[in-house]
Structure 1
Amino acid sequence: SASPAASAVVWASNHLLGNGHIVVVLLRSWSEFARTGTFAGGLNLDRSVLSRPHSPPRYSAAVDGMFVPWDHEHEVNPLTGEASFVERLYYVEAADIARLREEARATSVQAVSAYLWKKLAAVVSSSASIAKSDTAARRCSMGYWVDLRWRVRSPDFCRALRSYVGNATTYVEREEPADAVLKKPLGEVAAMVREVAAKLPAARSASVSAARCPPPPAALLAPALAGPPPCW
């Protein structure tokens, strides 16, 4: 007997279009339409909903601390740039995360971030390419992408952002001497991670006030770190 025909739909996404939250929304919307023939949610394609251009442009003073001036001497060659990076994908057991949470007395994101920060600090501190006396170079930083969808004040704005097709994230960062991070216990480093998110209003890259939104419907929550801020 002939086997039934099968088909598959495959697509790729890019952060120029939107962040992880909207990818999950698109997948669920596609599934809903395929099963029911209708789509009750609706998508917001209005790019001006998040932030309208300022004339003249205005930037937070925190931007100066996140970026360095561009010059030819430090320009990265895109053909050889990957040789300078190491990428690894880790699988972390739930028991290990629970142990880190217990040691740090913090949330999962805070505890794991603190652990990684200490490991990064150990690499920087032991680097043979940096002179021991060069304390300015023996520093390390951790950066975090924070989803703004659950941190806006207006309820109407909250609803608009949940279905907004685009990037609604901001980047926050903290830099510390590597030796100082190493000496601190895990709980204190986790507290530093919390402080990074707490300073979001001063470091935000979009004109959005930081505040908690009402809890979103469970169906709209993206996996991993894309959900609302209880992880902080």
Structure 2
Amino acid sequence: MGSCGFSIIVKRREVVAAVLPMQEHWLPMSNLDLLLPPIDFGVFFCYKNEQNISPENMVIVIKKALAETLVSFYPFAGEIVQNRLGEPELLCNNRGVDFVHASSDIELKDVDLQHPDISIHGKFVPFKKQGVLSIQVTEVKCGGLLIACTFDHRVADAYSANMFLTAWAEIAQAKGATHTAPSFRRSMLNPRRPSTYDASIDDLYVLISSLPPPKELKTSDDRPVTRIYYVEAKEIARLQSMASYHGVKRTKLESFSAFLWKTIAKGSHNEVKKINLGIVVDGRKGLKGRVEDNLVSMQNYFGNVLSIPYAEGSVCDLKEMALEGVAEMVHACIEGANKEDHFLGLIDWVELHRPQPALAKICGKNSDDEEAIVVSSGLRFPASAMNFGWGMPDFGSYHFPWCVQTGYVMPMPSLSGEGDWIVYMHIMKKHLDIVESEASHVFRPLNPSYLKMDKGC
């Protein structure tokens, strides 16, 4: 897929607002939203356009559906401002979404998807300058199309973005209202009175003001790099089998995370004493919802409902431990946070520390003798649902090169239909070197033949 020497030409810049007018109003951030610093995450989808539809007509369909989708998902058409306490709040004013229609002189099969920091970042996936959401649609040389979005993470987590993306594609096909209608009832995440929390929260979250300055990169090996791999279904099944024992079956995500953790520890040098592993936990299943003492489902809730518990691991112990033992540590880490009491306590913890900003401690750790990675499940990634009327995308991925030194890894389903995974990695170069030297049989480089893009587009 090689060449990155291609150009992007902007054909049109505009702002797409919701098709129906709305009354301007404020939507407060929940306490869980306030745990997110001002960072953005992206998604992108690649289409070969085998139906030879005019790209101009495709863009018309995309924009029209976007304007209709923003009626329900109106926070994405708003903007974030600070209140008098210095906290972010969402002004729902239908400012609109920054929309770029671009073209490129590269063919889809030549886009180096394995190295998104070179080929994708800031080229096909736009930088968000204003508003909450930015979108870029890029025509490529062979008639194909790339659709990319950049979301403000303070407004939405991946679950919320997935709801929006699925609705957008369904509306483009005029399927009717079969998509999930979002709920913005912040009262579902209100703190309790009186607020209370378990002391374990203090071990997982920290005030930003208490963090030391970021440590300087010692060598180029400490700089973060981004790669995308694929993992075959048979390897995922093998890891799951190795991580399970005595009738206790670990999940695929637990098994994968344990393997990655152990692999990085195995190749780490002596100066690193600890490798810590964080797991992003979605609290929607655990939280029953509380509105005027009536139980309300969290399934449709729009916003952030995340926690990042982490487990500390001695490099020596991780090297010697069997994979099933490492997987047990991963399982315990997830189970400790995958409960209603944990999320209610986290909401109360934020309330007791407002307006001081805070974040997950694993994202702020920077001791000289310890390193960290975070694994987030992208297994709900809706790539197969992103049919705007000209077929499923040929490839799709999240894109999240966050600015902290903690590594970030996100597996998501491949469109191969055979149970394979696509794995997005944004980790230190030395960790990437370990992965490629110790586990190349698991993490396979993307190539045109695997993506079935080696012919035609």
**Cα pair 2:196 2:345 within 8 Å, conserved:** no
Q: Identity rate of aligned residues, in percent? A: 22
Alignment partners' CA distance in 1, 2:341 and 2:192: 17
Code of the residue aligned with 2:164 in structure 1: it is: L
**Cα pair 2:275 2:314 within 8 Å, conserved:** yes
Specify the SS of the correspondent of 1:141. Answer: strand
User: Which structure is richer in relative contact order (CA contacts within 8 A, separation 6 or more)?
Assistant: 1
The count of corresponding residues between Structure 1 and Structure 2 is 200
Code of the residue aligned with 1:148 in structure 2: it is: G
Question: In the alignment, what sits opposite 2:380?
Answer: 222
Question: In the alignment, what sits opposite 1:214?
Answer: none
State the Cα distance separating 1:68 from its structure 2 match.
Answer: 6.1
Question: In the alignment, what sits opposite 2:280?
Answer: 145
> Unpaired segments of 5 or more residues in structure 1?
131-137, 209-220, 227-232
Code of the residue aligned with 1:164 in structure 2: it is: Y
| Aligned positions of 1:82-231 closer than 5 A | 84-89=222-227, 90-105=229-244, 106-124=250-268, 126-127=269-270, 129=271, 138-153=273-288, 157=295, 159=297, 161-200=298-337, 201=339, 204-207=342-345, 222-223=380-381
Q: Which has the higher helix share?
A: 1
**Residues 31-85 of structure 1: per-residue CA shift (max 9 Å, x gap):** 2333337435422122232x2145776443123323567679930279x89x643
Structure 1 residues 104, 158: CA separation in 2 closer, same or farther (over 3 Å shift)?
Answer: farther
Q: Which moved more, 1:177-186 or 1:195-204?
A: 195-204
Code of the residue aligned with 2:162 in structure 1: it is: V
Specify the SS of the correspondent of 2:311. Answer: strand
Q: Which has the higher strand share?
A: 2
Code of the residue aligned with 2:262 in structure 1: it is: K
- Compute the TM-score of the two structures, normalised by the length of structure 1: 0.69
State the Cα distance separating 1:94 from its structure 2 match.
Answer: 1.9
State the Cα distance separating 1:152 from its structure 2 match.
Answer: 2.8
State the Cα distance separating 1:114 from its structure 2 match.
Answer: 0.9
Structure 1 residues 189, 203: CA separation in 2 closer, same or farther (over 3 Å shift)?
Answer: farther
Structure 1 residues 12, 154: CA separation in 2 closer, same or farther (over 3 Å shift)?
Answer: closer
Alignment partners' CA distance in 2, 1:69 and 1:32: 41
Tell me if 1:30 matches 2:168: yes
Match of 1:13 among 151, 164, 167: 151
Specify the SS of the correspondent of 1:195. Answer: helix
Say what the alpha-carbon RMSD is for the aligned residues: 3.7
> Unpaired segments of 5 or more residues in structure 2?
1-52, 63-134, 136-148, 245-249, 347-378, 382-409, 413-457
